[in-house]
Amino acid sequence: MIASSLTMGLTYRMRMTRINSGLLEPIPPHPGRTVPFSLLEEWMAGDDYEPRDRLRITLDAVRLGVPVAAKDLRQVFDAAMAAPVGEEHSDGSVAGRALEVLYANGEAPPLHQLEFLAISATYNLASSAVALIAKGGRQAEAETLIRLYENVTSASLRSMILGVLEPLAGRLGLRITRSDNTLMAMAI
């Protein structure tokens, strides 16, 4: 999409590391980033988008700093999650990024909704939900991650759960042991 390309160009630069390869680096706010605000606002106001396309545009607008976009993101995110998943949107990466922005803005879904997303969504969205659960930092989040580990079938997601559960358990003074597909937590 044009909005995604515009956002990428105004927020990152390519640093060439070798011939035909490079790394994207975040850059300070580009002086011209406010020029497309009215265009993005017009696109966000359009009625001809599928919910996930609207989420993509709104997320790009939030990343550029369009004032109205941040206040609409939660509503747009909820509508996108309620919509049927089309094949072209099945990777969940945009929804995962939106979930992370919502968390950063203090508007993340509650723990039970994050748990549902971690169980039911594609890997990209599920991994974002798992990471946000761990950021909660409490015993309830550790218990949720243990429950998730036992309920998900993806080996990659299980590995990711263990990766965020270990430091959380350490902060909480818990020792996690694994037996087959079961995790147990004990106070140290």
Question: What is the radius of gyration, based on Cα positions, of the chain?
Answer: 19
Q: DSSP for 41-107, please give it.
A: HHHHH-S---HHHHHHHHHHHHHHT-HHHHHHHHHHHHHHHHSPPPGGGTT-HHHHHHHHHHHHTT-
Query: Could you read off the pLDDT of 87-97 as tens digits, one per residue?
Result: 545 568 889 99
- Residue 41 has a CB neighbour count (10 Å cut-off) of 14
C-beta separation of 152 from 118 below 8 A:
yes
Which tokens in the block code for residue 6?
């515009």
Q: Residue 160: pLDDT above 70?
A: yes
Query: Could you read off the pLDDT of 38-89 as tens digits, one per residue?
Result: 877 888 888 888 888 899 989 988 888 888 888 989 999 999 998 877 654 5
Q: What pLDDT sits at residue 30?
A: 72
C-beta separation of 53 from 80 below 8 A:
no
Q: DSSP for 132-164, please give it.
A: HHHHT-SHHHHHHHHHHHHH---HHHHHHHHHH
Q: What pLDDT sits at residue 48?
A: 85
Q: What pLDDT sits at residue 90?
A: 58
Q: Residue 24: pLDDT above 80?
A: no
Q: Give 6's pLDDT tier (boundaries 50, 70, 90).
A: low
pTM: 0.80
